[in-house]
Amino acid sequence: MNRQWTVEFYRDAAGREPVAEFLDSLPARARAKAVRSIELLCTYGVLLKEPYTKQVRGKIREIRVTDRIGAVRVLYFGWTHGRFILLHGIIKKTDKTPSRAIDVAEKRMQDFLARNEAVQ
């Protein structure tokens, strides 16, 4: 089984890619760790489990990275044809992923699905 998984950045109606902007804002070391974890997601797909990924709420999962700056999280969901859509990135300040961040990811997922239903 050599399935190819792909990762795409959520793009809002104005063309912005919030996760790309988030990754660009990270210090080099944290960004490298996050990119490495995203590459693992491309390699292993749905088989990638904790400590690298974790289900957060419903279809929303998070890529988990620990760095000196804190707990870096990239929220995403799996879509059709082996694709993962990266929705939102945060640096966690508490043990739990804030529900506000999950709400942002869910809103972006709904927006993505509404604009891409016919493109599957």
The pLDDT tens digits for 7-59 are 999 999 999 999 999 999 999 999 999 999 999 999 999 999 999 999 999 99
Q: Can you give the CATH number for the domain in which 14 is found? A: 3.30.2310.20
The pLDDT tens digits for 56-74 are 999 999 999 999 999 999 9
Model pTM?
0.94
Q: Print the domain residue range for 76.
A: 6-119
* DSSP letter for each residue of 37-106: HHHHHHHHGGG--TTTEEEEETTEEEEEEEETTEEEEEEEEEETTTEEEEEEEEEESSSSPPHHHHHHHH
- Confirm whether 74 is domain-assigned: yes
Instruction: Give the chain's domain count.
Output: 1
